[in-house]
Structure formats: structure tokens, C-alpha cells
């Protein structure tokens, strides 16, 4: 069953299920363009195959998928080549296809799931996490923005939790992932193979989960959830920051969260804030069109490449954002990220 992707992704037919395994454990299963294209081909073929009742996607090693392979983007910039917008276009089309998939699409998330990994898992019908799951959308920390459909996912979370995740990039565990509504089910890691076997035998995800589900408590305490809801309900990013500053001297949560946000790219923060708000009223397809508009402008900018340099290349953790302060970011520049692309708009 060769849909491409080489040794980075494996496709198998097991019983009544099509099984996808991400096979780059040393790279934490980061998505390459080849993996994206191969997965898109497999899903298209299996959607019309009457012998396939469900799709299961999982990852090898300690990560489900840590995100897109952004070093490809950085290398192209260093080589003076055109930014690889085609990778993101294909990835965003894949995300949209998963969201509208006509068969059960089951993501078994055991380990790290971030960025592009979220895009190939959390738009499916069944998002199953284990106690090893660690979810994050950390893009504002590398001068990027929460993409792969984050503008469709995060606004749905109650208590402004999605806005908090987008603006901090903080990680959450399986209790929070399930409790906030990102995951649909939780199982213990020791039950993964049993679940997968049942799913492949029956093709029925709900029946396969019966008797295996766990109910983990939220890792984030109620008082902190209340603080998140209060601080991140404010109508603008500067007002959120001002509120955190007001309480930072007496509230450890406010101090910790303020410190986190102040280390992020100011441009990314403002883009992310507007993106999450705009996504509330948009379909998945329209969210992906909006994110592609942002992406094209990000690829032409400074902060994304500086963020990759600081986090992955030089690893000095000292990015030099331009502009370096939120108050120095032009609102006209933020508007430009969302402007239509004309003939370059994302199509499906």
C-alpha cells in the first residue's frame, strides 16, 4: 500500500481500518511535505473504499507528532529560495479534509502533540489521549502563529482557555486536554494496543473504546481556571497584559503568565489574538483561508526565522523580535496579515 512518504510514514490495512503510523521517532514525528502529501492520498483513497470503515493515526516513539518540519522553511530562507508556501497549502488542505472526513478518523495521541501534529489529529471525529499526552500550540514563541486550524479549534474552548493556550503556548496534560474539550476520550497507555485491535476488528471506534475510557482530573486547578477566564476575557491584548501586570505582585499565576507572554513575539501575539477572535464566526474552510493569508505574510517577515534561529539553530533562547514591544507594532501591519491574497488565495 504505497501512497508515498518513504520511510517517514507507514500505511496499513488491518481488518476494517486503515492505519497510519508516523515513523520519524528521532525527529519526534515532525511532518515533512512528503508525509503530508502521502497522508492526503491515503485519506482520499480510503474515504471511497467500502472495505475501510475507519482510519487510525498514531506515532512511533515518545511523540505523536511535534509539528511541521520548520527547518525546511529556515533552510530555504538561508539559501535565498522562495519560502515553501506549498508545504503549508497542502497541510492546510489536509487539515480541512480531516475536519470534513466522512468516516471515523481516530487519532491515538500518546506523547507530544504540537503544531502540525494538532492539525492531523484534533480535527478528527475521535481524539483519544493517554496519560503521556502533552498538547501545545507554541507558535508565538517562535515568531509564528497558531495555525493548522487552531482558529477553528481554540475559540470553541470555554472559559477563554483557547485564547490562553494561543497567547502563552503553554503545554497541558491529558486531564486538561480532555476537560477543555479538545480530546473526546482518554485511555490508559497500557490499553492502546487492545483498543487498536478492537478498532481494526470492528471498524467501530465507539465500540472499541467501550470499557477502556479513563476520566483524568484536570491538571489546572479550579482557581487557576477562574483566573484564566477572568484575565483572558478582556477585549484586547494590551488590556490582558495590563490586568496581569496589576496582579503580578501578589498573584503567582499572573506573574508567571505575564513573564511568558512578555517573551513571545509581539507581532505574533497580536496576530494570534485577532485570529482566534475572527475564527469564532468562520467555517473550517474559511479559517484555513484566513490562516493561509497570515502564513504568506509570516514567510515574508522577520520574526518566524528569528524564532527558529533562537530556538532550534543557535539555541540561545534569546530571540530579537522586530518590533520588540507590543506598543511599537503598527495596527496597519497587523491588518495586512489578514488582507486577501487575490489569485494566491488558498483553494480546496
Known catalytic residues are 68, 116, 139, 147
> DSSP letters along 240-304, please?
HHHHHHHHTTT-HHHHHHHHHHHTS-HHHHHHHHHHHHHHTT--HHHHHHHHHHHHHHHHTSSHH
- Cα-Cα-Cα-Cα dihedral sign, residues 263, 269, 273, 276: negative
Residue 210 corresponds to which cell in the numbers above? 467501550
Q: What's the CA gap between 127 and 177, in Å, rounded?
A: 10
Closest CA to 141 of 308, 276, 270: 308
Q: What's the CA gap between 27 and 308, in Å, rounded?
A: 16
Residue 180 corresponds to which cell in the numbers above? 477543555
Please state at what angle helix 266-279 crosses helix 237-247, rounded to 10 degrees: 110
Q: Report yes or no: 120 and 31 within 8 Å, Cβ to Cβ.
A: yes
Give the phi and the psi of residue 250 in degrees, each rounded to 5: -120, -10
Residue 226 corresponds to which cell in the numbers above? 477562574
Give the phi and the psi of residue 316 in degrees, each rounded to 5: -85, -10
Q: Report yes or no: 177 and 129 within 8 Å, Cβ to Cβ.
A: yes
Residues 6+ apart with CB under 8 A from 21: 9, 10, 12, 57, 58, 59, 60
Neighbours of 15 (CB within 10 A): 17
Please state at what angle helix 284-299 crosses helix 85-99, rounded to 10 degrees: 170
Amino acid at each position: 500500500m504505497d501512497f508515498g512518504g518513504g520511510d517517514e510514514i507507514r500505511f496499513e490495512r488491518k481488518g476494517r481500518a486503515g492505519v497510519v503510523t508516523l515513523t520519524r521517532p528521532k525527529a519526534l514525528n515532525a511532518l515533512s511535505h512528503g508525509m503530508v502529501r502521502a497522508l492526503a492520498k491515503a485519506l482520499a483513497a480510503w474515504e471511497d473504499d467500502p472495505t475501510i470503515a475507519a482510519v487510525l493515526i498514531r506515532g512511533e516513539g515518545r511523540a505523536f507528532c511535534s509539528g511541521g518540519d520548520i527547518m525546511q522553511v529556515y533552510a530555504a530562507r538561508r539559501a535565498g529560495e522562495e519560502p515553501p508556501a506549498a508545504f503549508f497549502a497542502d497541510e492546510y488542505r489536509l487539515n480541512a479534509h480531516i475536519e470534513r472526513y466522512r468516516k471515523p478518523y481516530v487519532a491515538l495521541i500518546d506523547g507530544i502533540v504540537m503544531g502540525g501534529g494538532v492539525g492531523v489529529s484534533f480535527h478528527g471525529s475521535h481524539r483519544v489521549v493517554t496519560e503521556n499526552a502533552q498538547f501545545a500550540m507554541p507558535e508565538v514563541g517562535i515568531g509564528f502563529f497558531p495555525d493548522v486550524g487552531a482558529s477553528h479549534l481554540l475559540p470553541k474552548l470555554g472559559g477563554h482557555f483557547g485564547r490562553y493556550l494561543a497567547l502563552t503556548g503553554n503545554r497541558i496534560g491529558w486531564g486538561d486536554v480532555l476537560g477543555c474539550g479538545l480530546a473526546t476520550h482518554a485511555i490508559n497507555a497500557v490499553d492502546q494496543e487492545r483498543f487498536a485491535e478492537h478498532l481494526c476488528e470492528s471498524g467501530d471506534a465507539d465500540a472499541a473504546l467501550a470499557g477502556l475510557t479513563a476520566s483524568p482530573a484536570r491538571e489546572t486547578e479550579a482557581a487557576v481556571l477562574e483566573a484564566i477566564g477572568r484575565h483572558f476575557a478582556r477585549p484586547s491584548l494590551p488590556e490582558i497584559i495590563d490586568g496581569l501586570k496589576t496582579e503580578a505582585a501578589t498573584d503567582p499565576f499572573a506573574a508567571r503568565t505575564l513573564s511568558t507572554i512578555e517573551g513571545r513575539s509581539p507581532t505574533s501575539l497580536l496576530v494570534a489574538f485577532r485570529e482566534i477572535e475572527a475564527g469564532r464566526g468562520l467555517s473550517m474552510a474559511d479559517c484555513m483561508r484566513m490562516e493561509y493569508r497570515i502564513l504568506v505574510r509570516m514567510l515574508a517577515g522577520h520574526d518566524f526565522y528569528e524564532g527558529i534561529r533562537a530556538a532550534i539553530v543557535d539555541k540561545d533562547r534569546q530571540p530579537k523580535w522586530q518590533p520588540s514591544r507590543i506598543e511599537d507594532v503598527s495596527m496597519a501591519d497587523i491588518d495586512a496579515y489578514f488582507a486577501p491574497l487575490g489569485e494566491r488565495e488558498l483553494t480546496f
